[in-house]
Structure 1
């Protein structure tokens, strides 16, 4: 059984405030941009492709095995998944639904497969280039942002370098002309076979694996996954064909050897930083599935 951690009201309120303040550094600017009708080609992705609402990202959850004490803890009973015990308020493992169990089993299977592999850092972010390969200007995904090398220059880069994208959720946005150029043919069914730790999208997806377990994921782990996803997304787009100088991002010019070297070093660094987060998610999934099994017996 999970070791129980009992938090005083002062302790859990401090954790709650720290998490909320940390996440609001990203959620508040997003709300302000949205209220003005402004699009952000880099950061919107974290709130649109990843569909977790900002209000829930800000909301602190203690995770399993934690008891909240003090009169203020009773407000957690207004949320789904909590119960009151003699010690205080805690997550109710009987509320760990079949849907959440399916999410945990899927994540565990995929995360364990990824964790067993060495990181490959030779793709150089060409997936973003392949998404605009041989398109007309009006078909470009971020049409409000110019291409650094223009359309012809962008196409030339795709044709001159080896496209090695192994992640289905990037590959599925390739243009029809770019798909045959890819070394791999990723599918959803092959994701467990092909996903690998060096892939930027695999690193960002740790955030998705975390929020799919809400409210049974500690917010500190959720926040760490989100913060890493922000940094990875920034590299992802700095290495893209877009000119993001108006948004304060300098390019990582992967069309040049020195740019590819910068990208590969950053990619390797993100893979190292993602590893302990993946380990924490694997442990959480195992714990939830084991504890849920016991609670239903």
Structure 2
């Protein structure tokens, strides 16, 4: 087990906090003023990881922290005796314990299966972000998701949905389609069959790398969680720029996916995000496998 000295781990924790504060501080300021943001709030309203949780740094399983009593009471942690490196012989240090990793074996197995299946598929780039449009199809009948005007109006938005092939493979996007849009999707992904549908070109599959990463907290290093967070943050901007809403007042230039040029711009950006997501997905798979080597199958007596 690696042991980090107090000055060493505190410097890493401070660097992590400074990294995410660039995004967290504006969000917390808006929240204090009760100002909603349809783009940037998503990572904290849709996902369950709170700002304070994202801000707290973790070294991951296999590393102990010297002089870190506050960590001892956190989920997955305990104090253990170590005698490595500069540590005092028999000193107690805080670390994620093996029994906690073992308790997470079902989650680790589930995520490895999903991430491996997704990574093994050829990326698809023909969706053009139409999932957001399908969520407001005939919204005069079904209601809208955001209090922002539709860039093409309701009739124009409905025409885009009805004149395009929609092939959304991501259940957590598809489940928000309006009742009239659901039958228009060429795929019918379900809650329990994500490994059969997820593909690495999907923007939401890329954003969900952040969800998978924080669900593995505190067993994986926080730099990987922050990397996935930054990817999700950037993907969300494209997701909403290509959405049917008029967000010009917030400074977002639309990606006009109803046009040939807009489709080309969307696909180019989508390819870039798939390329950024691939190594992060590989790192998450490697972490699941590393941790599953610890979380052994129970032996029958």
| Structure-1 residue corresponding to 2:89 | none
**What residue ranges of structure 2 are gaps of 5+ in the alignment?**
84-92
- Asked whether the equivalents of residues 169 and 197 of structure 2 are also in contact (C-alpha less than 8 Å), the reply is yes
- Asked whether the equivalents of residues 246 and 254 of structure 2 are also in contact (C-alpha less than 8 Å), the reply is yes
Correspondence for 1:76 among 71, 74, 79: 71
CA distance in 2, matches of 1:296, 1:31: 47
Moved over 4 A (4+): 294-297
1:286-297 aligned at under 5 Å gives the runs 286-293=289-296
| CA separation of 1:249 and 1:137: change in aligned 2, threshold 3 A | farther
| Structure-2 residue corresponding to 1:85 | 81
Structure 1 SS opposite 2:295: helix
- Is 2:28 the counterpart of 1:31? yes
| CA separation of 1:39 and 1:17: change in aligned 2, threshold 3 A | same
| CA separation of 1:230 and 1:137: change in aligned 2, threshold 3 A | farther
- Asked whether the equivalents of residues 134 and 181 of structure 2 are also in contact (C-alpha less than 8 Å), the reply is yes
1:81 deviates by: 2.1
Correspondence for 2:51 among 28, 49, 54: 54
| Structure-2 residue corresponding to 1:128 | 132
- Asked whether the equivalents of residues 77 and 84 of structure 1 are also in contact (C-alpha less than 8 Å), the reply is no
1:138 deviates by: 8.0
Q: How big is each residue's C-alpha offset from its partner over 1:125-184, in whole Å with a ceiling of 9 and x where there is no partner? A: 0000000011118811002x1111110111111112111111111011001111111111
1:32-181 aligned at under 5 Å gives the runs 32-69=29-66, 71=67, 73-82=68-77, 83-87=79-83, 88-96=93-101, 98=103, 100-136=104-140, 139-143=143-147, 145-181=148-184
**What residue ranges of structure 1 are gaps of 5+ in the alignment?**
none
1:202 deviates by: 0.3
1:101 deviates by: 2.1
- Is 2:207 the counterpart of 1:211? no
1:294 deviates by: 8.2
| Structure-2 residue corresponding to 1:197 | 200
Q: How big is each residue's C-alpha offset from its partner over 1:216-244, in whole Å with a ceiling of 9 and x where there is no partner? A: 12110111111100000110000000011
1:67 deviates by: 2.4
Structure 1 SS opposite 2:139: coil
Correspondence for 1:267 among 261, 264, 270: 270
TM-score, with length taken from structure 2: 0.92
Structure 1 SS opposite 2:189: coil
1:97 deviates by: 5.5
TM-score, with length taken from structure 1: 0.93
CA distance in 1, matches of 2:75, 2:256: 47
- Asked whether the equivalents of residues 60 and 218 of structure 2 are also in contact (C-alpha less than 8 Å), the reply is yes
- Asked whether the equivalents of residues 210 and 281 of structure 1 are also in contact (C-alpha less than 8 Å), the reply is yes
